[in-house]
């Protein structure tokens, strides 16, 4: 991670305020803000949980920068003289292309879009910059990674949304169609873990269901076929982009009795309200999010309500769910464990 900061001196002379840092993990973004030495800086994130952690870190380090969240980078005004994109090696190629595309629309005319890539030999960004901005400059090769920059010439280009659609059905119920965008979970395909959980879940007409960590909303939309118009589905996620997509997918699939909440702490969910909670937590993230999902489910379920939690790490998660709920059952399906608990 220190590599991204090592790249900054290569572009420092091109940086003019106001600066926007587009995405990036908490610590590298904090280091970049420090390297910018007090120039007007805004940090953009999709995820309110991640944004809150970044605000905390900036405060701890005595640094000043505004942290904003939105579903799309191009929702921000085109007022930035410099947009810095700290592209870590592990981020998806599709998300990288999406950010270059959307980044064009927030650079002020004459301003620069700069990518700092952790790859020493990066083959993604030069063609992407050229395609979007017409030209691309590149810093001399460097062990720490690669640096690319482009200037936004006067004029405009149409917005081009990176998207993929897939179809999914559970059992004999009708197939639904889901649009997905880069940067949200399971881009372009239905997740097998979610499918495994839906095949096992007992959801009845009239049930109030919580899709906990809804992503693009596939679980909640598919389950609405079971709880029907007398039931209700609440979709919640910490990613603003995910919740916007869930809203779009619910509307496109005729899910009318739905509610949408963006939250990273999950404290704004009503206690004792739900008959069913369905959760497919991030697998490889630290188990903090898994624990938050389990504690939240216990809090928001009505007495005897049902909790379904799909995992590839039952050895870790089952004891945590037992500790919170008392006892559990589990079902193996499609290589996943679906843990079932009652409030």
When binding is defined by CB under 6 A, the residue of 22, 289, 301, 338 that contacts ligand SAM is: 289
Query: Distance between alpha carbon 16 and the CA centroid of its chain, in Å?
Result: 29
Q: How far is the CB of 190 from ligand SAM (least distance, A)?
A: 7
Scanning residues 46 to 105, which ones bind ligand SAM (CB under 6 A)?
A: 49
Residue partners of 264: CB distance under 8 A and separation at least 6: 47, 48, 49, 50, 51, 52, 238
When binding is defined by CB under 6 A, the residue of 30, 42, 239, 311 that contacts ligand SAM is: 239
Binding flag, residue 118, ligand SAM (CB under 6 A) = no
Scanning residues 173 to 212, which ones bind ligand SAM (CB under 6 A)?
A: 185-186, 191, 194
Part of the chain binding ligand SAM (CB under 6 A), chosen from 17-25, 55-63, 137-145, 238-246: 238-246
Provide the sign of the torsion angle of the four alpha carbons 194, 199, 201, 206, taken in this order. Answer: positive
CA distances from 244 to 81, 167, 239, 247, 296 (A): 28, 19, 9, 5, 22
When binding is defined by CB under 6 A, the residue of 28, 86, 111, 213 that contacts ligand SAM is: 213
Binding flag, residue 122, ligand SAM (CB under 6 A) = no
Q: How far apart are CA 298 and CA 340, in angstroms?
A: 12
Bond prior to 56 in cis (omega within 30° of 0): no
Q: How far is the CB of 185 from ligand SAM (least distance, A)?
A: 4
319: helix, strand or coil: helix
Q: How many residues does the chain have?
A: 343
Which residue, 46 or 149, is less far from ligand SAM as judged by CB? 46
Q: How far is the CB of 268 from ligand SAM (least distance, A)?
A: 11
Q: How far is the CB of 154 from ligand SAM (least distance, A)?
A: 38
Q: How far apart are CA 61 and CA 58, in angstroms?
A: 5
Q: How far is the CB of 153 from ligand SAM (least distance, A)?
A: 36
CA gyration radius for the chain? 22
Question: ∠ CA 153-159-162 to the nearest 5 degrees?
Answer: 125
Of 308, 207, 199, 212, whose CA–CA distance to 257 is shortest?
Answer: 207
When binding is defined by CB under 6 A, the residue of 97, 223, 242, 243 that contacts ligand SAM is: 242
Q: How far is the CB of 26 from ligand SAM (least distance, A)?
A: 14
Q: How far is the CB of 252 from ligand SAM (least distance, A)?
A: 16
Q: How far is the CB of 77 from ligand SAM (least distance, A)?
A: 26
When binding is defined by CB under 6 A, the residue of 69, 238, 249, 317 that contacts ligand SAM is: 238
Q: How far is the CB of 81 from ligand SAM (least distance, A)?
A: 31
Binding flag, residue 290, ligand SAM (CB under 6 A) = no
Draw the binding track, 266-285, toward ligand SAM (x: CB under 6 A; -: no contact): x-------------xxx---
Binding flag, residue 264, ligand SAM (CB under 6 A) = yes
Q: What is the end-to-end Cα distance of the chain in Å, rounded?
A: 42
When binding is defined by CB under 6 A, the residue of 20, 58, 147, 218 that contacts ligand SAM is: 218
Q: Is 157 exposed, middle or buried (0-12, 13-18, 19+ CB in 10 A)?
A: middle
The residue written with tokens 């679980």 in the block is 219
Q: How far apart are CA 273 and CA 276, in angstroms?
A: 9
Binding flag, residue 292, ligand SAM (CB under 6 A) = yes
CB 11 within 8 A of CB 152: no
Structure tokens, 200? 């096992």
CB 78 within 8 A of CB 102: no
Which chain residues interact with ligand SAM by CB under 6 A?
Answer: 49, 185-186, 191, 194, 213-216, 218-219, 236-239, 242, 264, 266, 280-282, 289, 292
């Amino acid at each position: 991670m220190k590599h991204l900061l090592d790249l900054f001196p290569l572009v420092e002379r091109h940086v003019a305020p106001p600066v926007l840092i587009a995405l990036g993990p908490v610590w590298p973004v904090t280091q970049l803000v420090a390297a910018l030495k007090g120039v007007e800086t805004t940090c953009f994130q999709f995820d309110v949980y991640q944004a809150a952690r970044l605000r905390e870190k900036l405060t701890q380090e005595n640094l000043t920068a505004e942290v904003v969240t939105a579903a799309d980078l191009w929702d921000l005004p085109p007022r930035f003289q410099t947009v810095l994109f700290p592209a870590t090696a592990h981020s998806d190629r599709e998300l990288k292309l999406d950010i270059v595309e959307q980044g064009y629309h927030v650079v002020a005319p004459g301003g620069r879009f700069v990518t700092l890539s952790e790859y020493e030999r990066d083959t993604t960004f030069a063609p992407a910059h050229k395609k979007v901005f017409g030209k691309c400059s590149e810093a001399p090769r460097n062990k720490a990674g690669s640096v690319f920059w482009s200037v936004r010439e006067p004029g405009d280009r149409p917005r081009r949304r990176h998207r993929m659609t897939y179809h999914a059905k559970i059992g004999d119920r009708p197939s639904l169609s889901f649009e997905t965008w880069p940067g949200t979970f399971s881009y372009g395909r239905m997740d097998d873990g979610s499918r495994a959980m839906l095949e096992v879940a007992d959801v009845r007409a009239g049930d109030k269901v919580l899709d906990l960590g809804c992503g693009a909303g596939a679980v909640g939309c598919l389950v609405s076929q079971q709880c029907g118009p007398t039931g209700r589905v609440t979709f919640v996620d910490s990613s603003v982009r995910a919740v916007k997509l869930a809203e779009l997918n619910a509307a496109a699939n005729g899910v009318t009795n739905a509610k949408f909440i963006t939250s990273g702490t999950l404290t704004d969910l009503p206690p004792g309200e739900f008959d069913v909670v369905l959760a497919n937590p991030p697998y490889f993230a630290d188990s903090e999010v898994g624990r938050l999902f389990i504690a939240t489910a216990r809090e928001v379920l009505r007495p005897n309500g049902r909790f379904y939690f799909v995992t590839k790490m039952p050895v870790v998660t089952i004891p945590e769910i037992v500790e919170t709920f008392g006892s559990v059952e589990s079902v193996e399906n499609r290589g996943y464990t679906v843990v079932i608990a009652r409030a």
